[in-house]
Structure 1
Amino acid sequence: MSILELDVTNDRSIKDCVATIMSNEGHIDILVNNAGITHYSPTIELPDAEGRAIIDTNFFGLINVTKAVSKIMIDQRSGLIVQLGSVSGLVANPFCAMYCASKAAVHAWSDALRMELAPFDIKVVIVKPGCVKTELANNAIPEMNLRLDSYGTLYERIREYIIKRSTYSQERGITAKQFADQTITAVLRDNPPAHFAAAPLATLMRIFSHLPSWASDYFLSRICGLDKLAQMVKRETQHQHQQ
Structure 2
Amino acid sequence: MAIPLDQITSMPAFSPYFPPPPARYRNAKFQYVYFRASLEAIDRVLPECFEPSPDGMCAAIGLSVPWCSSYGAFDESVLSVKCVYEGTEGWFAPVVFLNSKSSIPAGREIYGTPKVHADFEIGFDERVMYTNTLVGGTMLMGVRSTMHRPADADEMPSGNPAWRIKAIPRADGNGVDVLQLIDVTNTPTDQVIHVCRAGDGVVQFNPSPIYDLSDFTPLKYFGAFYVELDMTENWGEIVKDFLAE
- Pairwise same-fold verdict (TM > 0.5): no
Q: Larger strand proportion, structure 1 or 2?
A: 2
Instruction: Decide which structure has the larger Cα Rg and report it.
Output: 1
TM superposition score category, shorter chain reference: under 0.3
TM-score when scaled to structure 1? 0.23
TM-score when scaled to structure 2? 0.23
